[in-house]
Amino acid sequence: MRKCFVTAACLCMLAIPVYGANVDAASVPWDSAIGLNGVVGIGSTMTVPAREWHYDEETGDSYYTGGVAYYQLNVTAGQSYYIDSKDIEGIDFYDSTGYSSSDENYYAVKNETIYIRLDNYSEEEAAQATVKSGQTFTGNVTKSDGMGDNVYYYTPSLSGQYTFKITSSDEDADPSLSIGMMKRDYFTSLKSKDCKWVSSYGYQEVTANLQAGICYAISANVETYTPYTLTLTQKPSVPVSGVTAKKAVSKKTKKAVITWKKASGVNGYEVTYSLKKNFKKAKTVNVSAKKAKVTLKKLKKGKKYFVKIRAYKNVEGARYYGAYSKVLKVKVK
């Protein structure tokens, strides 16, 4: 299949179709002689008939008919789409302006109706293609057959420095990465000053400054039909507010009430308590960010407990902790 991404070891650049160019909106995006073959969505299968060769004996002209199909796709802003097929030679997307771009990947910048043109050059059999969601990068992916450019979409929650690494055990794979930014209705390549590459046998690593909430496209490229692994090896640290402990009191048998001052911008608190000053064999309870108090139960009567609290944030599936509060002491009734 044709690949339209351009991967370079020294440029943060790849060619991703983003739509919004001013083209004559009156232009019909499909051939009126063929018509629209159907409306599709994610998971739908599209069929393209084989083309037929014709020869006009009177004029000596030859020409083809068929081999083309048009489908309508209603896209959602922020959603990426991928046309999966090994038999389709040509894929073109048309947006509402009539603008077209050729690639198997499409990133929607707004809710709208677009059209897909598929070309089948075979004269023997029909070809099929499937509409799939674009590949979202979550931090680690391994692909068993990565020949060519494989595109992943990533939207960071934090602004800062990120490092991506692609590795392959095949000495001829020559793995490489490139990164581009999807923003509103245009595509922007990252500037060279925002990227740094490190390459050696079997891997390439790129470090880039990314902005929170912006969708980026990461193109992983290998030159052979070989497995590769793409990994996010570094991302910004997450600042988490410290916690100010207030009191630890025991007014009821085998119970203690721990209070603290609420921290801003956190997802919750972790309260750790132990009979040992060094917190050996400590127990931990998690408390919602809406609360600043917890009651510890089933404690040992008459014993002294040590208690400390810290806040945490959950970002992109990982939990980050702030500093512990001062240690509180409480003797249980």
pLDDT reported for residue 200 = 77
Which CATH number is 244-331's, of 3.40.50.720, 2.60.40.10, 2.90.10.10, 2.60.40.2130? 2.60.40.10
CATH number of 38-133: 2.60.120.380
- How far, rounded to the nearest angstrom, does the alpha carbon of residue 59 sit from its chain's CA centroid? 55
Instruction: Report which of 165, 150, 168 is spatially closest to residue 219, judged by C-alpha positions.
Output: 150
pLDDT reported for residue 26 = 38
pLDDT at 243 exceeding the cut of 50: yes
pLDDT at 94 exceeding the cut of 80: yes
Instruction: Report which of 222, 218, 227 is spatially closest to residue 138, judged by C-alpha positions.
Output: 218
Q: Cα separation of 29 and 70, whole Å?
A: 9
User: What mean pLDDT do residues 227-254 have?
Assistant: 92
Residue 85: other Cβ atoms inside 10 A? 18
Q: Cα separation of 70 and 279, whole Å?
A: 67
Give the domain ranges of the chain.
38-133, 135-234, 244-331
Domains 38-133 and 135-234 share a fold: yes
pLDDT reported for residue 147 = 65
pLDDT reported for residue 171 = 74
pLDDT reported for residue 145 = 67
Instruction: Report which of 174, 85, 83 is spatially closest to residue 131, judged by C-alpha positions.
Output: 83
Q: What rounded mean pLDDT belongs to the chain?
A: 83
Q: pTM of the full predicted structure?
A: 0.65
- For the ranges 29-33, 55-59, 79-83, 281-285, which has the lowest average pLDDT? 29-33
6 CB-near residues (< 8 Å, 6+ apart): 13, 14, 15, 178
pLDDT reported for residue 264 = 92
CB 231 within 8 A of CB 206: no
At residue 192, what are phi and psi to the nearest 5 degrees? Answer: -60, -35
| Burial class of residue 124 in the structure, from the number of CB atoms within 10 Å of its CB (0-12 exposed, 13-18 middle, 19+ buried) | exposed
Instruction: Report which of 246, 303, 252, 258 is spatially closest to residue 284, judged by C-alpha positions.
Output: 258
Domain 135-234 falls in which CATH fold? Jelly Rolls (2.60.120)
Segment of 3-17, 105-119, 176-190, 298-312 carrying the highest mean pLDDT: 298-312
